[in-house]
Amino acid sequence: MNTATTSTHRLPVASRPSRLGAFGAYDWLFAALVIAGTGFAFWRYGASMDVYEKWILAGSAPVVIGLGWFWAPLRTLALGVGAAVLLAIGLYARTTDGFGADLAAADNVFLLKYFLSSQSAILWMSVLFFMSTVFYWIGVFATAKAGTDNTAQRIGSRLAWAAVFMALVGSLVRWYESHQIAPDIGHIPVSNLYEVFVLFCWMTALFYLYYEQVYKTKALGAFAMLIVSAAVGFLLWYTVDRQAHEIQPLVPALQSWWMKLHVPANFIGYGTFAIAAMVAFAYLIKQHASETNWWKLAPLWALGVVLCFEPLLFRKSAAGGISNFWAIYFGASALLVGGIIAMRRRIAAGLPSFEVLDDVMYKAIAVGFAFFTIATILGAFWAAEAWGGYWSWDPKETWALIVWLNYAAWLHMRLMKGLRGTISAWWALVGLAVTTFAFLGVNMFLSGLHSYGTL
């Protein structure tokens, strides 16, 4: 087993001001704009909010300000998204129907039709994430040596930022659109598989981009964006096959303010667990770069099995045939796996050190575990309100507990027993399989109180 010694990586001091005097004009301008935006939201929409929603809105302002002060790129992202969403709302509000803004404007107004309506923005997100993945992988093969970033990787990073921007715009505009359909239809867009897949994509990408800046390497983008692109592929299939992009009323059990807290916290966990698994995969590729025995290349073959046979889970016909979409997915996956296996030495040459890979894996799991714990606690309170009990051993609850125990054991073994290297990497990969079943498998193969997003 390879052993990695944890190294400490911190943000540059200039990026994390330690006292009020260290903040610049842009920091204070950002804070003022967030407060002003919160005040406008209270003035414009306060009459439609219940007391819990008002407290959530009030609490979100210091959180957004704190995040923007902690990580400077979030300030520009937040202000840009806010401006784009306000522009979209303004374009929608120019024409009204019997209830609110006329959503038919999404087909008639140029900016809404091609950029700013929720569906257009989310389609742009999908394209940009695919393009980001391609450029990151081009960068992998163009890298001269580990620790250096090239033009393709920098383009991939910028495209990932653009995709996150469009995802946030699409999600917030969708939130607004839902309120313009009819009374009691409007809801935060985290209520079904379509909406939470968008949430997963931008949250996972944003956490990766943070680690990219902290560790000053873009070499892991090719791996992190693979999982995001896989999610985008599922999202596109789900949109076309099930028309899942259409906004639907909430079922009674989801008409709760707990959803606004529980679901995002859950998906911070899912996203960071996914990042940890892909970093673990990179770790194992680096470890097996010089291996010539095919049976010792188990990590690569395992990925191939998962990618290539996933279409069988989503076959369209009862006879077992697969749709054209999943047939193409199957072929692309096979080519990708074959390319990774064939080029593993070149790929490994551009990866960071084992110490960096191990540290990213650990910090991603630590963050994910913290938020997943919070989400589980919030879910218990929500269950008590909706069903009269904190825990009912529903399949979703049971598998959430299995996920929690898995990562609790991983962190215990690392912190108490010094677990590093091969075993921890394999464990993180298995953890992704467990998490994926808890997220999707329960909806596909089991039923219960949580069966809202069926496949």
Mean pLDDT, the chain, as a whole number?
85
d(CA 38, CA 43): 9
Whether residues 153 and 272 fall in one domain:
no
Please identify which residue in the block is written with the tokens 């592929």. Answer: 233
d(CA 152, CA 156): 6
Is 80 within a domain? no
Please identify, among 181, 214, 244, the residue that sits at the C-terminal boundary of a domain.
244
Which pLDDT value is given to residue 292?
72
Whether residues 310 and 435 fall in one domain:
yes
Which pLDDT value is given to residue 306?
65
Q: Is the pLDDT of residue 268 over 90?
A: yes
Whether residues 275 and 210 fall in one domain:
no
Whether residues 205 and 331 fall in one domain:
no
- Over 233-251, what HEC string results? HHHHHHHHHHCCCCCCCCC
Q: Is the pLDDT of residue 318 over 50?
A: no
Is 177 within a domain? yes
Q: What is the mean pLDDT of residues 251-258?
A: 80
Which pLDDT value is given to residue 280?
93
Provide the number of structural domains found in the chain: 2
Which pLDDT value is given to residue 17?
47
Which pLDDT value is given to residue 340?
81
Residue 303's contacts (CB-CB under 8 Å, 6 or more residues apart) are 281, 337, 340
Is 211 within a domain? yes
What's the pTM value of the predicted model, to 2 decimals?
0.90
Indicate the DSSP class of residue 96. Answer: B
30-39, 144-153, 323-332, range with the lowest pLDDT: 323-332
Question: What domain range is 130 assigned to?
Answer: 93-224+232-244
CB-based contact 159:128 (threshold 8 Å): yes
83-97, 145-159, 300-314, range with the lowest pLDDT: 300-314
Whether residues 443 and 299 fall in one domain:
yes
Q: What is the pLDDT of residues 186-237, one digit of tens each?
A: 888 998 889 999 999 999 999 999 999 999 999 999 999 999 998 998 898 8
Is 183 within a domain? yes
13-17, 222-226, 353-357, range with the lowest pLDDT: 13-17
| Highest mean pLDDT, choosing among 90-99, 367-376, 417-426 | 367-376
CB-based contact 64:78 (threshold 8 Å): yes
Whether residues 277 and 199 fall in one domain:
no
Whether residues 125 and 266 fall in one domain:
no
Strand partners, 96: 101
Residue 248's contacts (CB-CB under 8 Å, 6 or more residues apart) are 192
Whether residues 337 and 426 fall in one domain:
yes
Picking from 254, 81, 104, 103, the residue whose alpha carbon sits closest to that of residue 171 is 81
42-51, 312-321, 329-338, 385-394, range with the lowest pLDDT: 312-321
Is 70 within a domain? no
Q: What is the mean pLDDT of residues 245-249?
A: 87
Which pLDDT value is given to residue 296?
67
CB-based contact 106:117 (threshold 8 Å): yes
Is 19 within a domain? no
CB-based contact 273:365 (threshold 8 Å): yes
253: confidence class by pLDDT, cuts 50, 70, 90: confident
d(CA 158, CA 319): 44
Which pLDDT value is given to residue 404?
96
Structure tokens at 287: 């470890």
437 vs 143, higher pLDDT? 437
20: confidence class by pLDDT, cuts 50, 70, 90: low
Indicate the DSSP class of residue 351. Answer: S
Which pLDDT value is given to residue 234?
87
279: confidence class by pLDDT, cuts 50, 70, 90: very high
Whether residues 277 and 403 fall in one domain:
yes
8: confidence class by pLDDT, cuts 50, 70, 90: very low
d(CA 282, CA 278): 6
Whether residues 154 and 220 fall in one domain:
yes
Q: What is the mean pLDDT of residues 386-391?
A: 80
Please identify, among 192, 213, 244, the residue that sits at the C-terminal boundary of a domain.
244
Burial of 214: CB neighbours in 10 Å, binned 0-12, 13-18, 19+: middle
Please identify, among 201, 216, 244, the residue that sits at the C-terminal boundary of a domain.
244
Q: What is the mean pLDDT of residues 41-67?
A: 88
Whether residues 219 and 269 fall in one domain:
no
Q: Is the pLDDT of residue 35 over 60?
A: yes
Whether residues 289 and 212 fall in one domain:
no
Which pLDDT value is given to residue 339?
80
Is 24 within a domain? no
Which pLDDT value is given to residue 311?
55
Is 454 within a domain? yes
Q: What is the mean pLDDT of residues 160-182?
A: 95
